[in-house]
Amino acid sequence: MSVSRGHIDVYRRTSDAVTRVSEQSLDLERSCDRERYEALLRSGHRLPVESCKLLEYRRAAATCWQPGLGHR
């Protein structure tokens, strides 16, 4: 996300695939978008972050996921 404009994409991971569920554009200069952003990312409402490198995902999609952003 840039300073004030961006997207929030929601993905669903299953043992077979990763699919995009929804995409929302945000402009934080607009108060309604700012409120939506704050509601989604407010502390306590965040979903756990997991990552899997693409090559690892292709080899073992069901078991490659690790906690965190994948800076390993």
- Supply the pLDDT for residue 39: 81
* Chain center to CA of 26: 14
Task: Report the pLDDT averaged over residues 5-27.
Answer: 87
Q: Which residue has the tokens 């607009």?
A: 30
CB 36 within 8 A of CB 24: yes
Residue 26: how many CA atoms within 13 Å on its side-chain side? 22
The full set of domain ranges for the chain reads: 5-67
Each residue's pLDDT tens digit, 17-61: 899 998 988 898 899 988 888 887 775 655 677 888 889 989 998
Question: Is the pLDDT score of 1 beyond 60?
Answer: no
- Supply the pLDDT for residue 44: 60
CB 38 within 8 A of CB 48: no
Q: pLDDT band at residue 72, thresholds of 50, 70 and 90?
A: very low
Which long-range CB contacts under 8 A does 46-53 form with residues at least 24 apart? 50/13
